[in-house]
Amino acid sequence: MPTPIPNIWALQSKGDVGALIEALRHPEPTTRRGAAAALRALDAWQAVPALQAALAGEQDWQAHAAIAATLQYLDRDVHIQHLVQNKDIPGLAKMLGSSNIEDVKAACRALGDLGNRQAVEPLVILFRNPLMPNAARLAAAEALLKLESAPAVVTLLGKRFARRTLLTKSNSMSGRSHSSRLNLPRHLHPRRRLWLRRWNLYQKHQRSSQQVRKAHC
């Protein structure tokens, strides 16, 4: 009698990490591949030992690649979890210089959540670095606001946004939303929309400052 094929999507929706780990041992390679992808989507760092065991015995190349990719992704979470548990601010600060944007964003979130003011200086350096991707600088700004140590420009953007909320409400009544003027997708999470608005304003401010400097040269 064939082994029943689990519904990976349903298990992922329920967050059933135990059942997904069990699915890594299913005879069907597609099921094992799907289980690995679901564990990655759930950030199930506790599944790392089971994934390592599954990788060692995996014969299907596609399932092997999926498990290896999930392990690579989750190893970062395990490392960050270890740094957070030990409140290793210098260790997290070193991750801000990573070439992997996801590492940088994860480190920013962890530093913001820890609430230690020692993280302010490396976060400010990251935020003010024009060579870093916008997503990394945005993550640094969010962490600084959590630490209540944001640079003046970030605080100013927050105040500007607060003033613009009144305009947003009045425009929504007339069918002209502020988000549409900024070309922001309507499906974005409200918090993300807020930061995209702030970021658009910050970049506009930076461009204006550069133009002024060039005019005086």
More confident residue, 71 or 210: 71
Q: What is the pLDDT of residues 130-188, one digit of tens each?
A: 888 888 888 888 888 888 765 555 555 545 544 544 444 445 444 444 444 444 445 55
The pLDDT of residue 201: 66
- Check pLDDT > 60 for residue 23: yes
Q: Of 20, 42, 40, nearest to 31 (Cα)?
A: 20
pLDDT of the residue at 111: 92
H helices present in the chain, as ranges = 8-14, 17-23, 29-41, 48-57, 61-85, 89-95, 101-114, 120-127, 134-146, 152-173, 178-181, 190-216
pTM: 0.50
Of 120 and 76, the structure prediction assigns the larger pLDDT to 120
Domains and CATH numbers, the chain: 1-42 (no CATH), 84-150 (1.25.10.10), 151-217 (no CATH)
